[in-house]
Amino acid sequence: MQQELLLDVAGLAAELEGEPTFLPVIRRFRSARVVQSCVTDLRLAQDHIEALEHSLNIGGTTDETRRRTIETSLSITAALLYVRATDDDGRGGGRGSVKVAGKLSDAAKEAHKRLVRLRNTAIAHVHDEESPPEYAWRETMIFGRWLEGWNLGVTTRQSTSSGRVFDDLKLCLSEAEPILAAKAVLRINQLTEALGAVPAEVFDRHTTTAGAFFKADAVAAALLNSGGPGTGAIIHV
């Protein structure tokens, strides 16, 4: 059976890199890729929240240490993914993010601020005195026990799945994901329009089969059958 032909847009953009005439194509390509990457982060964060909710509902594993590790990992990763997609400044060569705070409801805006603050003060860095008090994410405690004199000890009390973090993530993800998904459609259509200025021979050099592009026929079939992000715009070459 003949395989579907695909266009390797990344390869095409790489060939056009540095050509002033095609700068709009390169800009649109990068913009579309960034937005889609951010959408993927939000969808991964949603997967983590759903897994966490399932763990909480069923009581998790009977091994307390393992349960605590799983729930902490899911909470931290979901918060990191959300903030990376919606509030990262992209400094140091990073991907950057798509800002959504201005389009969120008032309640989600406040939740968004708490999640950003949590990421910056208690996850990516440790500034216990600055982390959101609503979350009670972690607390390092030094104490003394009287055993014919004061004997000092130290421990860290860490929340495995703060209810406030969970609620804030659910609210923000429910509003932010549709915003970014709509922007991804817009950006891919803008890229489609920009590609109309590229000569046909450039397209020919970056045409390949679906199996070769996705590295496996089964993966190609699954991805292509899931539907594309655009609104049906066509590139005429």
- Domain membership of residue 146 (yes or no) is yes
pLDDT value at residue 1: 47
| Nearest by Cα to 194 from 47, 9, 34 | 9
Contacts of 45 (CB under 8 A, 6+ apart): 77, 78, 79, 81, 82, 85, 169, 173
- Do residues 126 and 39 make contact, with C-beta atoms less than 8 angstroms apart? no
Whether residue 174 is contained in a domain is answered as yes
Q: Which of 148, 145, 117, 146 is nearest to 133 (CA)?
A: 117
Burial class of residue 126 (count of CB atoms within 10 Å of its CB; 0-12, 13-18, 19+): exposed
The alpha-carbon radius of gyration of the chain (Å, integer) is 23
How far, in Å, are 46, 60, 75, 226, 234 from residue 53 at the CA level? 10, 10, 10, 26, 42
Residue with tokens 């079939």: 221
Whether 172 maps to a domain, the answer reads yes
* Residue 217 forms part of a structural domain: no
Name the residue type at position 21: T
Residue 234 covered by a domain? no
3-state DSSP assignment of residue 120: helix
**Is residue 219 one of the residues assigned to a domain?**
no
Residues 6+ apart with CB under 8 A from 217: 3, 210, 211
Q: Report the amino acid identity of residue 222.
A: A
Question: Residue 41 pairs with which residues in a beta bridge?
Answer: none
For 137, the domain range is: 17-198
What are the CA-CA distances from residue 121 to residues 22, 26, 34, 101 (Å)?
42, 36, 25, 19
Amino acid at 43: R
Could you tell me if residue 227 is inside a domain?
no
**Is the distance from CB of 110 to CB of 132 less than 8 angstroms?**
no
Listed as ranges, residues in the chain with pLDDT below 50 are 1, 237
**192 lies in some domain:** yes
Query: What is residue 56's three-state secondary structure?
Result: helix
**Per-residue pLDDT, 105:** 97
What's the structural domain count of the chain?
Answer: 1
CA distances (Å), origin 8, targets 14, 171, 182:
10, 37, 23
Phi/psi of residue 230, each to 5°? -80, 180
